[in-house]
Structure 1
Amino acid sequence: MINHWKKVLILTLAFLFLIGGMSLAQDLPRDKTLVVTGAMWGPPSTWNILIPNPVPGTSTLVYETMFAYNPLTNEYTPWLAKSGEWTSDKEYVLKLREGINWTDGEPFTAEDVAFTYQLAKDNQIPYSPIWNWMDSVEATDDYTVTFKFSQPHYAEWDDELYQRYIIPAHIWKDVPGDQLLTKTMKNPVGTGPYTYMHAGQDRMVWERNDDWWGNEVFGKPAPQYIVDLVNQSNNVIMGMLMKGEVDLSNNFLPGIQKIKDQFGLKTWYEDEPYMLSWNTAHMPMNVLRKPMDDPQFRRAMAFMINSQTIVDRVYGGMVKPANPTGLFGEGWQEYLDQDIVDEYGFEYNPTKAKAILDSAGYVDKDGDGWRDMPNGDPIKLELIVPSGWTDWMESIRIIASNAKDIGLNIVPTFPDSALYDNKRFNRGFDMLIANMQTTLSSTPFDYWDGVANADIKGDANNNGNWGSYDNPELFDLIDQFNITRDEAKKHEIASDIERILLQDMPTVPIWHNGLWAQATTNHWTNWPSEDDPYGIPVTWANAYQLGMIKTLIGIKPVN
């Protein structure tokens, strides 16, 4: 009997907790509330913009950048800045908009911009490395900031202009240095179009800042409230979309293309691939292990993989096969040399993969049906992805099947995500699938520096060159691209980089992951799309400034 009443009490408390969590959403007028999901994977806990992953929306909804960047047109839009220009090879001058206030009423000035960067010089925070090539930053008047550089990194600075969130000096100057990365900064003070309203175990709620400076410049965001729900299972999110309870989902939802028309769901493209591309999924190979140390073996892997099967079978046409260079998007493809791709590129061709392996001596020496090393040692390799990443798990099963077709024994393996990361950081793998450091940006430097950077000496290589590929010539070319302003020279360097990557193949680009976005029209309409690309509907951290604010301005309430 006691156990029975314990169960009743527990269920009652759980129900009351659930009702309490739902009451806020019920109290908000639905025609003024945008409900989104797909960015948060746990209860909101920190709004500290200095760390890589604060509560989604903290970046851009609250703290803003000097410029916004449109990856569809490869164009910058002045944001907090009115303009910016290189006044010499080593000096960049930024002019700020006037009349902007922080949400506590204090004026936004050049001192805030200078403080944001000086903080990184005086303390060890994630963007402190910029001071390896920056000499000084100075607020030369209330609305002018002058940056001087010892060795300008032009490509990285292009990113900096739309990825560095400016913080209020009058608040952050009082934060002790040892708390800069640990203080939660709840109720953050920013210059942006929304402010903190409520944080619960299952959601973050933002309220529109009707005094936002941008109302007069860009237009007023339509939703008065944004409710960002913590991610649940695919089935739950799919059900909420079909019932119109979620307005925008940035989750990967397998099968969405089969029901989108039935339930009036909106995607960027009406038909395949449905989604914009967001990053490049590729297969790094650990060159410290045999036979991955052989460029011919690595190149055979490129011809072995049937990317189209992954696109069709795993994603139902919701992604695109990767360009052999790994590049996509306007800002990257501007530097793509099609002649290089035609000469050195690859496509699914098991016959050619076999010929390359045969020529390099990887043949079946003992008659067991599997290829061996040239010295007769057996080849048995593991290809890893995190357990639970069902689309990637199915993808490497297909790759293992492709390998079997050419006589290679590659075993798909699924460690938990923590072990996967440990193996990735510490070279404890043969092959893996990754998409980190390959996200759409304004410069292909980000992709090249991500898959083939020179940081291969430490115990935890966590900057993208997971396979420890070492090529000083390539690293120098990537650096030269970074520090060159001459566009003709940059195109020459880009061609050389692409040629080396295709010849040596330290990693195989396989597919371009999608910018997952599914919207309903029960409560909000006029979503951006291929036909009307005025914004980009993405709520992921550090992606709002790529078009979500313009989406918030452009959508319209149904009622």
Structure 2
Amino acid sequence: MRVRLATDPETLSPVSYSNAGALQIINLLFQSLLSADLATNEIKPFLAESMPTIERQDSITLFTYEIREEAEWTNGSPVTAEDVAFTLKVAKAPLLNNEGLKPQLEFIRDIRIDAANPRRFTFVCAGYAPEMELLTGDFFILPAYLFDPENLLQHIQVADLSKEHSKLENDEKLKAFAAKFNSPEYGRDPNLLQGSGGYTLENWENGKNLTLTRKKDWWGNNTSNTQHLTANPQRVSFQVIPDITTALLALKNRQLDVLEGIPAAEFDQLKQQEAFLKDYALHTPDAYEFIYAGINTRSPKFSDKLTRQAIAHLLDAKSVMKASHHNYAKLTAGLIPPSVSEYYHKELAPYSFNIEKAATLLKTAGWSREADGWYKTIHGKREQLSIEAIYRAGSSSHENAAIILQQNAAKLNIPVQVQGMEGSLLASKSKQHEFEIFYRSLSGNPFAFNFKPLLHTGYAGVGGINYTGFGTAESDSILNQISTTVTSKAEMANLLKRLQEIMHEEAAFIPMYYIKERVAIHRRFTNTKVSGLSPNYDVSAFTLKEEE
């Protein structure tokens, strides 16, 4: 199997990965208790024997799992509840690079391991929300024997990590583990990146390719009634091809078996090429991926929401969508997919392109229009309204968005400087808050709506993933409720719709549109499980068609 990767992953750490390409690879190496079967878009047991049993007790909820008897690590040892406990420690402990995972699991307060069955355990969780069932199973389980051979975390209890961390931050064994775990090798070393999945990392050559090899006698092949547990291709080669034009050429030359993210214009051209269509099938699933603009609210120029609303009226999402995706996208007023009708706020109108409205908002925000631009005195200093817009180099949709903003702002005499940059630099600038406006994409799913790490002010510090600094007391309260106390879909719908209203008003994190994915897959394969869920197909399930 030959699959294109747009960029090298920053890391393949199952705890601190940062992009969809890395996630696709990690999914082949490691497993979670539960995951989505792309054939049906349903959550199913993977490492777990079955869905958890749930018992609510006043202010806590108990989720009990049992790991499949067949499940084993690369060395043949069984996956046990101790590995799950170890993973929770890694996800919750201070000093570790776990900022993306920690908030997702903060509601899990403890783990109780069955003394009579080393594969059976119970999560003790604070409160109850319907999506907790998925969240308790939706994280990669790590092999304790590989990640902590010196048992440096053995003396720490999971329950202790739900309390004040000040004492643990001086724990010498934890500090020693953190020094190892935070090192680059824990996200690159093939000897460490060995989970319970059907593949091992054979080779990683920066800027060229990552190759995974199927395990011999993988345990997943020996289970019954588990068609979603697959490791069919003998080898999967991820080809690093940053430039989409080069990737398309490789596809047309039959050097790739799968290519996603095909630009709309080129996709339309491929639909007309009979020779190409004899070898490749084209697919357009509704993806759970949206393009958004992020405005740094910490910048004095953009600290006022009226100023941010004015900029939102200059983004012109409709033109960006048309230029980048033709008809393969849908405008959105919020970060909930419009296809998830029960939670999407359909009464909320997306920001429209409106020069006059933008000018009025700027004047209301205290900006005065002069011959050479807009000016305002902020903290005793005269500031000109100018914008630096950054995006990942090689992303045509993000580049189009930045250029369209530049053109629209010029009509109001607002200078906009646009700059494409390498993905790791963009990520670094986002985390360090060294930006004014950025364009990014975000992938999700229709199962979980815990946006706390993305939007809560508790994660707006340097290194956190609330890059824009968005947040109000009310939005923080809503995010806390969603992650811990929601008891019904109706209550979830009310909270999510109110959150979308606040986000719309604050105009710091501005969703623009959801895309339809555009995927080409070679016709020699079947069982491709094309889906709207990222990565829009399941490479582990591919099988060769029988020759006619």
Given the two structures, how large is their TM-score scaled by the length of structure 1? Answer: 0.75
Cα distance in 1, alignment partners of residues 423 and 204 from structure 2 = 27
1:174-219 deviation per Cα after TM superposition (whole angstroms, max 9, x unaligned) = 1563434434242754332334555566341322544433563333
- Seen in structure 2, the aligned counterparts of structure 1 residues 503 and 251 have a Cα distance that, compared at 3 Å, is closer
TM-superposed deviation, 1:397: 0.9
Cα distance in 1, alignment partners of residues 213 and 544 from structure 2 = 17
Q: Alignment partner for residue 85 of structure 1, among 53, 67, 70? A: 53
1:135 match: 109
After TM superposition, the structure 1 = structure 2 runs for residues 10-409 of structure 1, keeping only pairs within 5 Å, are: 34-38=1-5, 41=8, 49-52=14-17, 59-69=26-36, 75-81=42-48, 82-88=50-56, 89-120=60-91, 124-125=95-96, 126=98, 127=101, 133-140=107-114, 141-150=117-126, 158-162=134-138, 164-174=139-149, 177=177, 178-181=179-182, 182-183=185-186, 184-186=189-191, 189-197=194-202, 202-207=209-214, 209-214=216-221, 216-219=224-227, 221-231=231-241, 233-250=243-260, 252-253=262-263, 255-261=265-271, 262=273, 263-264=276-277, 265-269=280-284, 276-318=286-328, 320-328=329-337, 333-339=341-347, 341=348, 345-360=350-365, 362-364=367-369, 366-368=370-372, 370-373=373-376, 378-409=384-415
Cα distance in 1, alignment partners of residues 412 and 120 from structure 2 = 62
- Seen in structure 2, the aligned counterparts of structure 1 residues 382 and 69 have a Cα distance that, compared at 3 Å, is same
- Seen in structure 2, the aligned counterparts of structure 1 residues 50 and 443 have a Cα distance that, compared at 3 Å, is closer
Amino acid at match of 1:323: T
Over the residues paired in the alignment, what is the CA RMSD in angstroms?
Answer: 3.7
TM-superposed deviation, 1:134: 3.5
1:338-381 deviation per Cα after TM superposition (whole angstroms, max 9, x unaligned) = 23x15xx53333343344345555452x344x444489864222
TM-superposed deviation, 1:404: 2.6
Amino acid at match of 1:435: S
Aligned residues, how many?
493
CA contact (8 A) 1:454 1:470 kept: no
CA contact (8 A) 1:251 1:517 kept: yes
CA contact (8 A) 1:83 1:94 kept: yes
- Seen in structure 2, the aligned counterparts of structure 1 residues 417 and 100 have a Cα distance that, compared at 3 Å, is closer
- Seen in structure 2, the aligned counterparts of structure 1 residues 498 and 144 have a Cα distance that, compared at 3 Å, is same
1:9 match: none
- Seen in structure 2, the aligned counterparts of structure 1 residues 337 and 73 have a Cα distance that, compared at 3 Å, is farther
TM-superposed deviation, 1:86: 2.8
CA contact (8 A) 2:318 2:331 kept: no
- Seen in structure 2, the aligned counterparts of structure 1 residues 558 and 409 have a Cα distance that, compared at 3 Å, is farther
1:502 match: 504
Cα distance in 2, alignment partners of residues 99 and 373 from structure 1 = 67
- Seen in structure 2, the aligned counterparts of structure 1 residues 552 and 130 have a Cα distance that, compared at 3 Å, is closer
CA contact (8 A) 1:194 1:206 kept: yes
1:228-264 deviation per Cα after TM superposition (whole angstroms, max 9, x unaligned) = 2233543332122112221112455564313322112
What are structure 2's unaligned runs of at least 5 residues? 153-176
- Seen in structure 2, the aligned counterparts of structure 1 residues 303 and 39 have a Cα distance that, compared at 3 Å, is closer
CA contact (8 A) 2:72 2:79 kept: yes
1:126-152 deviation per Cα after TM superposition (whole angstroms, max 9, x unaligned) = 246677543321221233211113566
Cα distance in 2, alignment partners of residues 123 and 285 from structure 1 = 29
1:242-300 deviation per Cα after TM superposition (whole angstroms, max 9, x unaligned) = 1222111245556431332211243322xxxxx54343322222223344222222222
Cα distance in 2, alignment partners of residues 317 and 108 from structure 1 = 46
TM-superposed deviation, 1:558: 5.4
1:18 match: none
SS at 2:465's partner residue? coil
SS at 2:238's partner residue? strand
Cα distance in 2, alignment partners of residues 86 and 68 from structure 1 = 18
- Seen in structure 2, the aligned counterparts of structure 1 residues 312 and 481 have a Cα distance that, compared at 3 Å, is same
Cα distance in 2, alignment partners of residues 119 and 374 from structure 1 = 47
1:489 match: 491
- Seen in structure 2, the aligned counterparts of structure 1 residues 513 and 249 have a Cα distance that, compared at 3 Å, is same
Cα distance in 1, alignment partners of residues 431 and 134 from structure 2 = 28
CA contact (8 A) 2:190 2:202 kept: no
Percentage identity across paired residues of the two chains? 16
SS at 1:259's partner residue? helix
1:404-438 deviation per Cα after TM superposition (whole angstroms, max 9, x unaligned) = 334533333445656544543333333222335x5
TM-superposed deviation, 1:97: 2.7
The answer on 1:424 being equivalent to 2:430 is: yes
After TM superposition, the structure 1 = structure 2 runs for residues 493-532 of structure 1, keeping only pairs within 5 Å, are: 493-512=495-514, 515=517, 517-521=519-523, 523-525=524-526, 527-529=528-530
- Seen in structure 2, the aligned counterparts of structure 1 residues 166 and 400 have a Cα distance that, compared at 3 Å, is same
Higher strand share: 2
- Seen in structure 2, the aligned counterparts of structure 1 residues 494 and 67 have a Cα distance that, compared at 3 Å, is same
- Seen in structure 2, the aligned counterparts of structure 1 residues 500 and 527 have a Cα distance that, compared at 3 Å, is same
- Seen in structure 2, the aligned counterparts of structure 1 residues 293 and 479 have a Cα distance that, compared at 3 Å, is same
2:158 match: none
- Seen in structure 2, the aligned counterparts of structure 1 residues 51 and 309 have a Cα distance that, compared at 3 Å, is closer
Cα distance in 2, alignment partners of residues 537 and 440 from structure 1 = 8
Amino acid at match of 1:228: F
1:480 match: 481
Q: Larger C-alpha radius of gyration, 1 or 2?
A: 1
CA contact (8 A) 2:286 2:517 kept: yes
1:442 match: 447
Cα distance in 1, alignment partners of residues 148 and 297 from structure 2 = 46
Cα distance in 2, alignment partners of residues 396 and 298 from structure 1 = 16
Cα distance in 1, alignment partners of residues 394 and 454 from structure 2 = 25
CA contact (8 A) 2:331 2:513 kept: yes
CA contact (8 A) 2:294 2:468 kept: yes
- Seen in structure 2, the aligned counterparts of structure 1 residues 107 and 514 have a Cα distance that, compared at 3 Å, is same
What are structure 1's unaligned runs of at least 5 residues? 1-33, 270-274, 539-545
